Chain A
Amino acid sequence: DAKTTQPPSMDCAEGRAANLPCNHSTISGNEYVYWYRQIHSQGPQYIIHGLKNNETNEMASLIITEDRKSSTLILPHATLRDTAVYYCIVRATGTASKLTFGTGTRLQVTL
């Protein structure tokens, strides 16, 4: 699975959009981009995933660049409950590979 690079921490004001970047320059054609988050003292929670098209669900939007070498997770209206560590993971489909977590981005949402 390709490696990912994320900033270690970010701040966002409550009510504003949080844009979390992820670089995955070595991603290959059959690899998906997954985002999970982990709120303190809980297990990781699935947010969204995509291959090459932008994706949106009730939690977030995922924007993947045309060359697929980077992506951005967007939380459109961040709340204090969105304070968490956000993990960007690249994983191949068609294999029995596991999710490989990095150290993620610690997002702090403030008043």
Chain B
Amino acid sequence: GAGVSQSPRYKVAKRGQDVALRCDPISGHVSLFWYQQALGQGPEFLTYFQNEAQLDKSGLPSDRFFAERPEGSVSTLKIQRTQQEDSAVYLCASSLRVQGGLASGANVLTFGAGSRLTVL
């Protein structure tokens, strides 16, 4: 598609439920990032994939958060046993190139519109 597509756009979950958020990156994009954005704050990094390999998961706040990208395209962020503090917008971004390349354009990310999660 023309952009990064995320679904669902809005999700309401009861505390303790599991949720799955989907990201469909731009076709051919190698790099994929997940970010979490709390109300009134800037996005916070969660995890990074290069193709199917999860190279950095240092931002995942707890072991309840799990992300995968099994075929190197679509990615799913799963949150188990949701808590109220998980309420946020979850943003996915993709980039054409491998991160760390020396070309100056390598670090331009295209973001999706996000999935807004509300945990009651």
A interface residue numbers (CB < 8 A to B)? 32, 34, 41-46, 49, 51, 85, 87, 91, 93-104
Contacts and interface: CB of A to CB of B under 8 A. Distances in A.
A18 B100 CA distance: 32
B1 interface: no
A87 B42 contact: yes
Interface of B: 4, 33, 35, 41-45, 48, 50, 55-56, 59, 91, 93, 99-104, 106-114
B101 A43 contact: no
Contact of B107 (A93, A101, A103): A93
B104 A49 contact: yes
B104 A93 contact: yes
Nearest to A104: B42
A32 B107 contact: yes
Contact of A44 (B43, B59, B104, B107): B43
Given A87-B42, A98-B56, A104-B42, 5 more contacts: A93-B107, A96-B55, A97-B99, A101-B43, A102-B42
Contact of A99 (B56, B109, B114): B109
A49 B104 CA distance: 9
Contacts of A41: 113
Closest 5 CB pairs of A and B: A43-B111, A101-B42, A96-B100, A98-B45, A96-B99
A46 B108 contact: yes
Most buried by B among A43, A87, A104: A43
B42 A43 contact: no
Contact of A43 (B50, B100, B112): B112
